[in-house]
Amino acid sequence: MHKFSIKDWAVDDQPRQKLLNKGADTLSDSELLAILINNGTSDHTALDIAKNLLQTVENSLHRLAGMSVKEMVNLKIKGLGEAKAIALTAAL
């Protein structure tokens, strides 16, 4: 099952374009994380991965920021491997 890529969305709905056009304060935590995650898988967008990740930490960026790379990878979220966990850890 192939989902539409974020690039297929209306420009105003794409997190990067939304940030450029409206500012970072208009984005949800999921959208901000999706920008850091950068890309998804064949069946999950970066936004899907971000939402799944936030759900596992009860929507707490504070809790997510306190996690190590290993802890994030151990969550076994499809599309969130070591490289993306490193990027998130560095940014948070």
pTM over 0.75: yes
In a domain, residue 55? The reply is: yes
In a domain, residue 68? The reply is: yes
In a domain, residue 79? The reply is: yes
Cα(18)–Cα(27) distance, rounded to whole angstroms?
A: 7
**pLDDT tens-digit map of 3-28:** 667 666 665 667 888 899 999 999 99
In a domain, residue 30? The reply is: yes
Cα(92)–Cα(4) distance, rounded to whole angstroms?
A: 28
pLDDT score for 35: 93
In a domain, residue 1? The reply is: no
Residue 15: C-alpha distances to residues 2, 5, 84, 88 (Å): 20, 12, 17, 16
- Confidence bin at 2 (pLDDT 50/70/90): very low
In a domain, residue 21? The reply is: yes
- Confidence bin at 47 (pLDDT 50/70/90): very high
Question: Residue 76 sits in which domain range?
Answer: 6-91
Closest CA to 75 of 47, 92, 55: 55
In a domain, residue 48? The reply is: yes
Number of independent structural domains in the chain: 1
Cα(22)–Cα(41) distance, rounded to whole angstroms?
A: 27
